[in-house]
Structures are given as C-alpha cells and as structure tokens.
Amino acid sequence: MDPLFDRINVRDLLSGHDLSDPSTPLSTPDLRASSSAASNPTLFISNQNVSGILSLISDRPIDVEIRKLVDEIGRTTKEAREKREMLGLLKIIVGICERLEGARSAFSDGRLRFAAEEVKELKKALRIGDEEEGEPIVYGLLRKQWADLFDEMQDLFSKFMENAVRFEQDSRTIRVKYKLCVDKMDGIELHTVMEAMDVAGILDYSLAKAADLIIKHAITPAVSYGSPAMFAEDVNQGSEGISEAVLKILPSQDCKIVDVDGDAIYARVIQVIKFIFKHICFENGSWIRSFGRLTWPRISDIIISKFLSKVVPEDASKLVDFQKIVKCTSEFEFSLKEMMFLSASDGKDYRLSSFSENVEVHFAFRKKTEVLGKARNLLLQCDFSVPQDYTSKGRLLKNDGMAINSSNQVVDLIFSSERCVVSKAASQLMELVHQTLQDVCLSSARVALEFYHAVRDAILLYEAVIPVKVKLERQLDGINQVAILMYNDCLFLSQEILGLAFEYRTDFPDSIKEHAVFADMAPRFHLMAEEILQRQIQIVIFNLREVIDGADGFQNTHQMQQFESAKFSIDQAVFILEKVHIIWEPLLRPSTYKRSMCMVLESVFSRITKDILLLDDLAAEETLQLQRLIHMMLDNLSSLLKSLISAFDSNEKSEEDTSRPIDDLIPSLRKIRKLGELLDMPLKSITSAWESGELMSCGFTILELKDFIRAIFADSTLRKECIWRIENVSLY
C-alpha cells in the first residue's frame, strides 16, 4: 500500500490558497470580500463619471465576469470533493489490509474462530464473486490477498482434520483425537476447529479426506455381502476429559454370513455413523448433516452395489421375499433422518428405498445384464468351427429330400428356400434372443421394455465384438472358412431380425407394441454380409492374379523352361480355385456359391485369354503348348465346373437368377475353350467361324481376331484375303 500513499499529496486536499496568485481559485470568504470591495466605490460616483461607467460596462459586461467566477467556484468544489472521496477510499483500503493481516495473525496464534469470522466478513466487504467492470485496480489486489488467505485457511484446517482422524493399518483402527497439534499450534480443540470450519463455510472441503477414510475402512467392510466386518468402540478419558475416541474394525468370525434380510448390515452402518455423530460432529445437527451431504451418495452406491443389487430376485416367485429388504431399508433411512444425517425434506436422499421399491425394474435390469453377459461370452468364445458331422455332399435346400442335418449350426433362412451353415455363436445368440422375447410376452410393461432393449443390444453385440475379434486375429486376410461363416452369420441374423416382429409383436404388452422395432437393424447386417463376401472374393482374385503374373504373359512356351514356368502358374491357380471350392461349396448357399465362384473364374479365364491374345509372334510348337496348357487347366477344373452346373439341379428355383447356363455366367469360359480350338485351326476355318458369328458369340472382337491371325500365320495372299473377309463381315 506504500506506493499508493506516495502517489497522493495530502496537501492538495487542503482549502488554503495564495490570493496574490491570480490563477488561484477563490474560496467563499474570498468571494464575500471581493463583493464588498466592489460595492463601496459606487458611493463616490458622480455625474461626470456616468459616461465612463457606461463605457466600462459596454466594454466588459459584468455578467461575463460573474459567470467566470461561478465556474471557478464549481471546479474548486469538485476537486475538493474528489480529494475527500479519495481519502475515504484510502481509509477503507487501509482498514481492509489491516484486517487481512489481523486474520492471518489470528490463524498463527490459534484464534481460529475469530480468524474464520474475519475471512467471512472480508469476503462480503470485497464482494467476492460479485465483481464489476471498471473497479479500481486496488480491489483486484485486495481480492487476491483474500484468496491467498482463504487458501492458507483451507490448507490449515485440512491439516487439522488429518491430524484429528487417522486410520492405523496395523491395528485396523480409526482414531479420533480431541487435542490437535499443527504447525507449532498445540492443544487446539477439535470442537474449536469444527466451529471455525463451519463459520468459514468450508466444512465440506475440510471433512473430505476424513470422509474418504471412513468410507474406505469402515463403511465398505460393514456392507460387504457375505463376510462383513464388526466394530468395537473405545474412549480414552483423561483428567481434562476425553482425549480420543477409537473405532476398531474386527473381521467377521463367520465368513459364511449371508445377511439376506439386511438388518445386520444396516445396524453396522448405523454404528459407524453414530460414532461420527458423537465423536467428530459432537452431536451437532448441522455438522452431521454436512457430513451426510458429503458421504451419503457414495455410501448409498456402496450399499446398492455390494448388497441390494446382489439380493434382487432371480425370478418373479422371489419378489415377495424381497419385501423384507424393502421394509428394513426404509427403517434404516428413517434412522439416519432422525440423526439428521439425511434431510427430512429432500426426497433424493432416500435412494435406497427408491431402489428397493423399484425392484421390478432392477430385476429386469439384472436379467438384461445377464442376457448381455451371455451374449458377449458366446461371441468372445466363437471359434468359427464347422460341425464335425457336417459333410459337403448334401445341398443346403429345405425341400430336396435329403435328411436334415441335426446340427443347430445348419439353419433355415426365413425368406429363402435355402439353408446355410452359421457359427455356433450366431446360432446360440438367436436362441438367446428368442428365449428373451418369449419372456417379453409374459412380463409386465416395465420388465418387457428392459428385455426388449436387451434383445436389441445383444444382437448389436455381434457387430461390435466379432469384427474386432477376427481383425485382431487377422482371420479375414486369407482364404479360410471364417469369412464365409461370418457372411452366413450376418445373412442369417438379418433375416431373423426381419422375422422377429412378425413372430412376437402380437403377444407383446400393449405399451411396447408401438415402440418395439427390429427391422432397422436388418439392413446393417445385410450390408456387413455383402462387404465380407466381396472382400473374400477380392482376396481370392488378388491371389490368382499374383500366380498368373508368374507365367510372364505365356511367352515362348515352346521353350521348356518357359513352358514349365507357365504350367506351374496354371497349377497354382488351379490349387487356389480347388481350395476355394472345398471351403465355399459346403458352407455357402448354392446360389451364393455359384454367383461368387463364377466371378472368380471369370477373372482367371479372362486374364489368361487376354495374355495369350496379346502374343504377337507364335511358332507352331508354341501354339500347341498353349493349347496344351488350356486343356490341362480345364481338365483340372472339371469337378469345380460340374459343381457349378449342378448347383441348382432341384425342383425349386432360387430367388436369384443363377440357374442360367454356366457359359452365360462365365463369358470368358466359352471364349477360352474356343481359343484352345483356334490355336490349331486352319486359317480358312477361323475365317468361316467368324463369318458364321460363332467367334463373336464367344466374345472375340475383330481386332483380337486379326491380331491373332497375324501372330500365328505368316504374311501371305491367303492371310490378306481372310483378314479382308473378316473386316468385310464386320461392316454388316
């Protein structure tokens, strides 16, 4: 504050002036003297001076002089008032500074209540929390000093409470000291500390650590379901009264105690709270209420999680027995209200009664948790294995006359004439869903609503768990049955979801019939199924392209080394296709198998055909070797091609139009077969085949055919004539 005083000259606040200085403002006595002096000379004015006086008045009107005089008086008065206000402000600032220092000294001297009262009053004087813009900077400085003092006060009281309430791990004892010693302040009464904290309005803050300690080491063991702790109180009495109080925490002698009725658990909690009420809060209603506000939300959560939630009935037949728990819970909270630990008017404090009285909802919540837990475990344990008694010889059609597979992994598709094989997890998940929906139909509205949400959440768990699981295990990066079973799972779930509303809606409680919706989940599973299948197809095609790249465009196959390289690439491609055939055919629906395999074969045949047609100079031996490679590949794939031809050899037609001839589904198959024939066909025969439209129907273009002829046949009149005939036909 010294710099502030140095900037103010108190002499400026005095009213004395030097009248000889014409610039000095006049005071009221000066003004009176000037007015008398101005009036006396008028007594001596004669007639001869009238003209002079008139001249004087006309040159300097008197009202102008008076106006200037009034302005000077106003300025002087304003300056004096401002200086008086500044002095008043300085007196206030000095007073606040002295009170701040006095409060700090009082804390050091152990006069805690006085110091707390000062801090509280200074908070009002400085309008803490009610600041305004444009205030003097010094107010901000004073508030900063107050905030620092307040922080020091909080720290000091926290130290007092840490010294007052301690937990001794070795003896498992909570010890409350009545005489405290902190920072060289010895002999401070705990009651005095509590009073000072209450006055300062920081009772909740300072009791926080003590509350944590008591909840952790006393309340939690008291509520432990099955093996609760016991308590013993003791008081050390000295010559000057009680010096400390002790709460010993004793382990239960019977580790198999089950407090189903709740009486014993609630009695132990009340014993702990009574100890707090008597030895920490000194039976002060306001203090125990503050302690209750601070601890009750956590205590009630502990009681709910460790006791009440564990005795919620597992079925409706046990709801009657739970009414005993409801009764003793209500009596427990009433006892706490009598001690003023709970508010008599705030209904939010009665959380335990609210929980126990709403047991029907909690019963449903528990069941929902069980359903979701079972669903999650099923999905996490999923290994995508195929049933051992399942074989690939039978088709997955519902009415084909074959014996139905006994495995629950072979499932019917509701909106299809086909079956498919799904993972055990997907099959069991839908069994769980159907069981839960049957409970929905038999439950009250509140329980049914929880079960309905449990069904939706359980189904969506597949989307949340399985993709992450297989991604972490990198099971979708190769050619295997995991991807196919996932595709079938998603297809199965999407169709089952669509059928749920039709199967159960009419039996749902009326209150949820309008709200129960399942169809919104079906598209996401259908989309997931297609994405998985397309990803698997692309992986197969990529692997096939890599091995065909090893054939080096099928160049120079008349040379033994080049022929062996090309043959090895063809063999690898056939191996991959057979592997896909073995995995896909028994697991996929016939329609899906046919469509997917045709896409893969089309990519292989079109690539090989394209590479051969790009060759620009073929020797006679080379054409025979290329023909040999084509025939060898088609022979090795004969069983695979037969599986596609027989995929829909049944009385029923699939919903997909995949019953067309195999050559229509794989256009490049007809083309590569014809290419094998063209490799040893005479030029005239080739030309006739083009003119008849046979080659065009196989997918050959005029440019491909002309380049092919030039690559095989030497330049001659006959070649030119044939090319002309081919071009001529193409004009029509």
| DSSP H stretches of helix in 307-405 | 322-338, 351-357, 359-380
Phi and psi (nearest 5°) for 356? -65, -35
Rg (CA), the chain: 50
- Report pLDDT digits (tens) over 184-215: 788 889 999 999 999 888 888 889 999 999 99
Nearest-angstrom CA–CA distance, 468 and 462: 10
CB 554 within 8 A of CB 587: no
Reading the block at residue 636, the tokens are: 């090795």
Name which residue leads in pLDDT, 176 or 55. 176
Nearest-angstrom CA–CA distance, 600 and 543: 11
Q: What is the pLDDT of residue 493?
A: 95
* Residue 43, helix vs strand vs coil: helix
Bridge partners of 177? 244
Region 77-88 average pLDDT: 75
Region 81-105 average pLDDT: 77
- Report pLDDT digits (tens) over 291-345: 999 999 999 999 998 888 888 877 765 766 777 888 899 999 999 999 999 988 8
Nearest-angstrom CA–CA distance, 562 and 465: 49
Nearest-angstrom CA–CA distance, 589 and 385: 17
Q: What is the pLDDT of residue 69?
A: 77
CB 142 within 8 A of CB 97: yes
Q: What is the pLDDT of residue 502?
A: 87
46 pLDDT exceeds 60? no
* Residue 166, helix vs strand vs coil: strand
Which range (45-54, 277-286, 398-407) has the least confidence? 398-407
Region 124-152 average pLDDT: 78
Q: What is the pLDDT of residue 52?
A: 56
CB 432 within 8 A of CB 458: yes
Q: How many C-beta atoms lie closer than 10 Å to residue 448's C-beta?
A: 22
Name which residue leads in pLDDT, 650 or 70. 70
Q: What is the third-level CATH fold of 531-649+659-728?
A: Tetracycline Repressor; domain 2 (1.10.357)
Nearest-angstrom CA–CA distance, 665 and 687: 27
CB 496 within 8 A of CB 414: yes
114 pLDDT exceeds 60? yes
Question: Quick one: CA dihedral 195, 196, 197, 199, positive or negative?
Answer: positive
Percent of the chain with pLDDT over 90: 45
Nearest-angstrom CA–CA distance, 507 and 484: 35
Tokens 């071009």 sit at which residue?
A: 727
Q: Tell me 397's DSSP state.
A: B
Nearest-angstrom CA–CA distance, 673 and 657: 24
Of 535, 522, 547, 367, nearest to 459 by C-alpha is: 522
Nearest-angstrom CA–CA distance, 67 and 653: 115
Q: 162 exposed, middle or buried (CB, 10 Å; 0-12, 13-18, 19+)?
A: middle
How confident is residue 42, by pLDDT bands cut at 50, 70 and 90?
very low
Reading the block at residue 306, the tokens are: 């460790």
CB 579 within 8 A of CB 636: no
Q: What is the pLDDT of residue 730?
A: 52
Task: Name the percent of the chain in helix, strand, coil, to the closest 5.
Answer: 70, 5, 25
648 pLDDT exceeds 60? no
Nearest-angstrom CA–CA distance, 347 and 637: 78
102 pLDDT exceeds 60? yes
Amino acid at 329: T
Of 351, 329, 336, 246, nearest to 288 by C-alpha is: 336
CB 618 within 8 A of CB 554: no
Region 653-661 average pLDDT: 53
Q: What is the pLDDT of residue 17?
A: 43
How confident is residue 412, by pLDDT bands cut at 50, 70 and 90?
confident
* Residue 228, helix vs strand vs coil: coil
How confident is residue 462, by pLDDT bands cut at 50, 70 and 90?
very high
Q: What is the pLDDT of residue 95?
A: 75
Q: What is the pLDDT of residue 389?
A: 61
How confident is residue 675, by pLDDT bands cut at 50, 70 and 90?
very high
Domain coordinates in residue numbering, the chain: 155-357, 364-390+408-527, 531-649+659-728
Q: What is the pLDDT of residue 78?
A: 79
CB 649 within 8 A of CB 659: no
Q: What is the pLDDT of residue 312?
A: 81
Tokens 């040999």 sit at which residue?
A: 628
Which range (13-27, 375-389, 501-515) has the least confidence? 13-27
How confident is residue 75, by pLDDT bands cut at 50, 70 and 90?
confident
CB 291 within 8 A of CB 314: no
The model's pTM is: 0.58
How confident is residue 445, by pLDDT bands cut at 50, 70 and 90?
confident
Region 385-405 average pLDDT: 54
Region 645-650 average pLDDT: 60
Half-sphere exposure of 23 (CA within 13 A, CB side): 0
Give Cα 650 distance to the centre of its chain. Answer: 51
How confident is residue 548, by pLDDT bands cut at 50, 70 and 90?
very high
698 pLDDT exceeds 50? yes
399 pLDDT exceeds 70? no
Reading the block at residue 438, the tokens are: 């049957």
41 pLDDT exceeds 70? no
Q: What is the pLDDT of residue 190?
A: 92
Reading the block at residue 655, the tokens are: 């919903």
Q: What is the pLDDT of residue 309?
A: 84
* Residue 286, helix vs strand vs coil: helix
Tokens 């009264």 sit at which residue?
A: 241
Which range (237-241, 565-569, 698-702) has the least confidence? 237-241
Q: What is the pLDDT of residue 290?
A: 92
CB 114 within 8 A of CB 106: yes
Q: 105 exposed, middle or buried (CB, 10 Å; 0-12, 13-18, 19+)?
A: exposed
Q: 643 exposed, middle or buried (CB, 10 Å; 0-12, 13-18, 19+)?
A: middle
Max Cα distance, the chain (Å): 158
Nearest-angstrom CA–CA distance, 271 and 221: 13
Q: What is the pLDDT of residue 43?
A: 43
Q: What is the pLDDT of residue 58?
A: 52
CB 342 within 8 A of CB 425: no
| DSSP H stretches of helix in 203-262 | 203-214, 220-223
CA angle at 184 for the pair 182 and 190, rounded to the nearest 5°: 35
Question: Quick one: CA dihedral 194, 197, 199, 203, positive or negative?
Answer: negative
Q: Across the chain, what does the average pLDDT equal?
A: 82
- Report pLDDT digits (tens) over 580-632: 999 999 999 988 999 999 999 999 999 999 999 999 889 889 999 999 999 99
Q: What is the pLDDT of residue 37?
A: 43
Name which residue leads in pLDDT, 535 or 400. 535
Region 442-455 average pLDDT: 86
Amino acid at 333: E
Q: What is the pLDDT of residue 319?
A: 65
> In what helix (H) or strand (E) does residue 724 lie, and over which residues does it extend?
helix 717-730
Region 242-254 average pLDDT: 84
Q: Tell me 6's DSSP state.
A: H
497 pLDDT exceeds 70? yes
Of 27, 129, 13, nearest to 73 by C-alpha is: 27
Which range (258-262, 397-401, 452-456) has the least confidence? 397-401
